[in-house]
A = this chain, B = another copy of it.
């Protein structure tokens, strides 16, 4: 039932908002990709795009639960999500682990590996997914020639740092309900940029994964959802969430 279709159970996107998947095509092409305005190629000229196409030659399909890379793996490439959802997790020796992020189409994974030539976290598909493989040595070489690409890569890395700062703030200073509110707002913002509704969504991750990301136990996440529903801010039916009063959600998250 799950099959390999992308993003099936998200709220239907506007026309053409998501790329059609061609499971057979082994070559990707940034030039034609409908994600190019959200992904690494933002702002590249058509000629530069062609150069990039030559570097990003491979794709990789992942079944739900499969790892794109694991901590300790040799770092060789960055990955751009084409379809599906992934999570990244860090873990201590003793096995305790924590989700550090969820990635959707157009977002880049693997930046953690550059510093030490090894990945420092696991990247796992939380639904069937497809990613573009971006061999890093070649990307570095090309970005030495294409200033705009260099700039774009730097921006992607910088934004990741800023995102992490936001999560640190959330983990350090917000209460459970606020964290959940902020999480939902962040998700809908990113989904909206991809053509999805900003008031309804289907969560691709379990309560436990959300809790792990937000520094909460799954029961607490569940209670927060229930509370927000009681207050008339959300309508929650399992993983389907409807945001009834987004201004109230925003107000909550901002204090």
Interface residues as binary, A122-144 with B (CB distance below 8 Å gives 1, 0 otherwise): 00000000000000000010011
A44 at the interface (CB under 8 A from B): no
CA distance A115 to B135 in the complex (A): 22
Could you say which interface size class chain A belongs to? 35 or more
A67 at the interface (CB under 8 A from B): no
CB-CB under 8 A for A121 and B165, given A140-B147, A150-B140, A172-B212: yes
A247 at the interface (CB under 8 A from B): no
A215 at the interface (CB under 8 A from B): yes
List of B residues within 8 angstroms of A143 by Cβ: 144, 150
The residue on B at minimum CB distance from A140 is: B150
List of B residues within 8 angstroms of A15 by Cβ: none
A47 at the interface (CB under 8 A from B): no
Binding site for B on A (CB under 8 A): 90, 92-94, 96, 98, 100, 111-116, 120-121, 140, 143-145, 147, 150-151, 154-162, 164-169, 171-173, 212-215, 254-255
CA distance A186 to B94 in the complex (A): 19
Of the A-B pairs whose beta carbons lie under 8 Å apart in the complex, a sample of 14, sorted by A's number, is: A90-B165, A93-B254, A94-B254, A98-B173, A111-B161, A113-B158, A115-B154, A116-B162, A140-B147, A140-B150, A154-B157, A164-B164, A168-B168, A171-B172
List of B residues within 8 angstroms of A111 by Cβ: 157-158, 161
CB-CB under 8 A for A161 and B162, given A93-B254, A171-B215, A255-B94: no
